[in-house]
Structure 1
Amino acid sequence: MTMDTAVPSSREYLRLVLLGALVGVPAVLVAAGFLALVHTVEHGLWNELPAALGESMPPWFLVMGLPLVGAALVVAARKLLPGDGGHPPLQGLSVAGQPLRAVPSVALAAFGTLVFGAVLGPEAPLIALGSAVGAVVARLARVNPKQAQLLTMAGAFSAVSALFGGPLVASFLLVEVGIAAGAALIPALLPGLVAAAIGYLIFVGLGNWGGLGTTVLSVPGLPAYQETHIVDLVIAVIVGVVVATVVGASRRLALGVAARSEGRIAVPLFLGALCVGALAMIVRALGGDSQDVLFSGQASLPGLAVATSVPILAILMVAKAIGYAICLGCGFRGGPVFPPIFIGIAAAMIPALLFDRSPTVAVAIGAAAGMAAATRLLFSPALFGALFVGIGFHDAVPAAILAAAAAWLTINAMSKGSTTDAHEEQATKTAGSQATEVSRPQAPEPREQQ
């Protein structure tokens, strides 16, 4: 991502910061509304419908059929609406803005992906919807294109702050993706930080008002972890390397899927949906839960912390990695971050069970390693891993940092000097060829300044 850090001064800059605060509220409301819709429909299809059919779990025809329905919606969004469904997840986590005319395509493609079981997360569509809100405010406020770009970014990070449990992780993401800008980055990002903080208040409340309900990501009921152990630090490094290797292999598989899907939309999506449904049924036959294979894995994270079977954890980790690769490469639209977090926590829980280690530090290790492998960032994954287990478990922070560092070093070492780099670049260009127009930040046309 490129970022123009030129910002106005004095009175105009203060106005820009205040506009950032204004952007935060509608952006997070849009994010909350979209997440609520996704959760409601998902619950109806995967829980209430099986219960109405007299089943305790989704029957095979739903596990196989619902992903196909989702694929059909994504095909419709990408073929019939402008915008190609938004940013291709194979290109990584992007904060590029979306033009307003692309919003219906982004929303429909994300809905088809998230509700019907594709193995991708909600962060990318939330960024797109939040950036659209920022663009609307910029247009109404009649700011110039450079200021409009900052407000667009402010809307994006206000929306995603709700997903990552507050403005801190979102702000670190903001800093890391634009760190090449140096000292000029701070004033350029201040509107986004303010938007994220103000928007998050809509979830957590203010004073006697309880808000909409917090979306802080955490695992409830974790045991206390108040003393760092050397063995946990060693496990953190090993898990970081393993998770980065698995996620890197998933990405390479996804690149192969994308290369074979070049120029086509419908066929790869439907084949990918069939493969993911079949993968979920195979895991069920092996003793796992098909729901843990489908979806982003976000709702399944607390269950991993209380898992008791090493073989099932290993099966879920492998199956999730394969499903993630398929959905990443075949054309679904969603975020690339949460499935690797699931993979990371599953991987970390295996040595925790084998060596009788605390699940608390295992969750911190896995979350940090998974996010670092997915984003190729370092500081925000370490912070996320530490916050994910709760602010009362500070002794888990060193392990989370080591896991993130090991994953970051490994995932970058896998790409440096690799003969797949050129193929990766070409595949991501292919995956985004139809979305080139909407992957660039869009700003309103400049108006005459009085």
Structure 2
Amino acid sequence: MAETQGEAASAGMSGAAYLRLVLLGALIGIPAALVAALFLAMLHELEHLLWDVLPQALGAPSPPWYLVIGLPIVGAVLVWAARTLLPGDGGHRPLEGFGRGPTPLEFAPGIVLAAVGSLAFGAVLGPEAPLVALGSVVGVAVTRLFRLRQREAAVLGTAGSFSAISALFGGPLVAGMLLLESGLAMGTALLPALLPGLVAAAVGYVLFIGLDGWGGLSATALDVQGLPMYAGTHLLDLAVAVGVGVVAALIVAAVRLLAARLEGFGRGRHGMVRLLLLGGLAIGLLAQLAQALGGNVQDVLFSGQTSVPDIINQSSIGVVVGVLVTKALAYAVCLGSGFRGGPVFPAIFLGVGVATLAVIGLGVSPTLAVAVGTAAGMAAGTRLLFSSVLLAALLVGRQGLDAVPAAVLAAAAAWITVAALDRRKPSPGRSAQRKPH
């Protein structure tokens, strides 16, 4: 993503040409946000049908065991169909993060089908990566209506992506910060390339505000209501923040390591379908295990942003630990078995879950736990510091402003831990070059 923006920024555009690029960014923000809203509303309605309406039609007050186990398997079949029958492999691998570069228009059907098969059927992944891809598709489609150079089209494709995800991350600020941090290697050349995307995110978020409440759109955003006021910063809270950052980073690193090893078993068409089906089965079984341990199956299924209020209000350490273990394993399975989605929101849920242990065991404020858990989980999952702290600050609002210093420490501890673990990994070929004594 940074490379395409850098090329556009160094293209030597005139003032009038650059102004047109910014205005096109604003124009792209509207259809990109509309496509994102339609996609999120479709996911919400399908989840409601599968996990609420269908169980009630079967005479069950909650999803019975055979749906908990069976629906992720059905979703795995849809993902396999999207990846094998449609172009684009259903979108990029979730282990790669958000994805990079413009997305061709012909990839859109496969991206939508793979995302629906993953997210609506219970996979532990978030909607951010499909939204990035669909926003890029809209950007590419709009730029084809104008005579633009390839470099300019690349910048506007990225602008569509950040318009599409602005609602998920609380507005254009986090979306813009994500854009900024992902391209820091460009230095000052980043700022001219940043502006069209930031304008698109702002315009897109205005549209999201107008559509709030329609089609369950507000239910898809990360939001925690009713947090108590957190005043003052205590030494214990700062120590908790550092501990949460380290533990969350270790969990996310273990998840990604397990996912990378699982991914190796899915090479080839037959390997792909077997791994997807086994992955779907494992997701359902892990959700059932969490329920047997006192948790809720829907705290293990799905991306986790709507379950953050549930985990933060838990009062049993045993239940929280059970949910954390099963959620982390299901997250690893989804990252590595071929499902399609984003990696951010499950990592945030794990971070908040770790912080909840401090709420129960040490009596720290739940507002502090949400702030430090969000910052730690996102920093561990994305390796982006400022975006993680900004999202945490927006999430807790004015009642949690004093928790922001602790969130900074949590994000920093998570980032340092992940960086230290990366340095311990052997470089490619090192083991092969090492000679036996």
Normalising by structure 1, we get a TM-score of 0.91
Could you say what secondary structure the match of 2:398 adopts?
Answer: coil
Match of 2:76 among 61, 66, 71: 71
Could you say what secondary structure the match of 1:162 adopts?
Answer: coil
CA distance in structure 1 between the aligned counterparts of 2:200 and 2:389, rounded to whole angstroms: 23
Alignment of 1:37-48 (within 5 A): 37-48=42-53
Contact 2:376 2:407 in 1 (8 A): yes
Match of 2:151 among 146, 151, 154: 146
Deviations 1:114-136 (A, max 9, x none): 00001111000000000000001
Contact 1:166 1:216 in 2 (8 A): no
Matching residue of 1:23: 28
Q: What letter is aligned with 1:113?
A: S
Give 1:217 deviation, angstroms.
2.9
Give 1:210 deviation, angstroms.
7.2
Higher alpha-carbon deviation: 37-46 or 93-102: 93-102
The alignment status of 1:178 with 2:183, answered yes or no, reads yes
Alignment of 1:366-445 (within 5 A): 366-419=373-426, 422=428
Give 1:274 deviation, angstroms.
0.4
The alignment status of 1:304 with 2:304, answered yes or no, reads no
Segments of 5+ residues of structure 2 without an aligned counterpart are: 430-437
CA distance in structure 1 between the aligned counterparts of 2:230 and 2:414, rounded to whole angstroms: 23
Alignment of 1:214-229 (within 5 A): 217-229=222-234
CA distance in structure 2 between the aligned counterparts of 1:71 and 1:301, rounded to whole angstroms: 25
Give 1:149 deviation, angstroms.
0.3
Matching residue of 1:292: 299
Matching residue of 1:364: 371
Give 1:211 deviation, angstroms.
8.5
The alignment status of 1:115 with 2:120, answered yes or no, reads yes
CA distance in structure 2 between the aligned counterparts of 1:289 and 1:348, rounded to whole angstroms: 19
Q: What letter is aligned with 1:292?
A: D
Q: What letter is aligned with 2:283?
A: V
Match of 1:322 among 324, 329, 336: 329
Query: Cα distance 1:216–1:59, how it changes in 2: closer, same or farther (>3 A)?
Result: closer
Give 1:269 deviation, angstroms.
0.3
Give 1:13 deviation, angstroms.
0.5
Q: What letter is aligned with 1:276?
A: I
Q: What letter is aligned with 2:234?
A: H
CA distance in structure 2 between the aligned counterparts of 1:315 and 1:356, rounded to whole angstroms: 20
Could you say what secondary structure the match of 2:90 adopts?
Answer: coil
Could you say what secondary structure the match of 2:352 adopts?
Answer: helix
Normalising by structure 2, we get a TM-score of 0.93
Match of 1:345 among 336, 352, 359: 352
CA distance in structure 1 between the aligned counterparts of 2:233 and 2:161, rounded to whole angstroms: 37
Query: Cα distance 1:216–1:56, how it changes in 2: closer, same or farther (>3 A)?
Result: closer
Q: What letter is aligned with 2:299?
A: D
Contact 2:155 2:193 in 1 (8 A): yes
Query: Cα distance 1:197–1:119, how it changes in 2: closer, same or farther (>3 A)?
Result: same
Contact 1:125 1:334 in 2 (8 A): yes
Query: Cα distance 1:234–1:386, how it changes in 2: closer, same or farther (>3 A)?
Result: same
Segments of 5+ residues of structure 1 without an aligned counterpart are: 424-450
Deviations 1:123-167 (A, max 9, x none): 000000000000011111221101000000000000011111101
Number of aligned residue pairs: 419
Contact 1:349 1:359 in 2 (8 A): yes
Residue identity over aligned pairs, in percent, reads: 56
Match of 2:240 among 227, 235, 238: 235
Give 1:256 deviation, angstroms.
0.6
Give 1:56 deviation, angstroms.
1.5
Could you say what secondary structure the match of 2:165 adopts?
Answer: helix
Could you say what secondary structure the match of 2:30 adopts?
Answer: helix
The alignment status of 1:129 with 2:134, answered yes or no, reads yes
Give 1:218 deviation, angstroms.
2.3
Contact 2:33 2:204 in 1 (8 A): yes
Give 1:6 deviation, angstroms.
2.1
Give 1:417 deviation, angstroms.
3.3
Deviations 1:164-183 (A, max 9, x none): 11011111110111000000
CA distance in structure 1 between the aligned counterparts of 2:403 and 2:99, rounded to whole angstroms: 29
Q: What letter is aligned with 1:385?
A: A
Q: What letter is aligned with 2:351?
A: G
Q: What letter is aligned with 2:298?
A: Q
The alignment status of 1:32 with 2:37, answered yes or no, reads yes
CA distance in structure 2 between the aligned counterparts of 1:233 and 1:385, rounded to whole angstroms: 15
CA distance in structure 2 between the aligned counterparts of 1:410 and 1:210, rounded to whole angstroms: 38
Give 1:94 deviation, angstroms.
1.9
CA distance in structure 1 between the aligned counterparts of 2:212 and 2:83, rounded to whole angstroms: 39
Matching residue of 1:201: 206
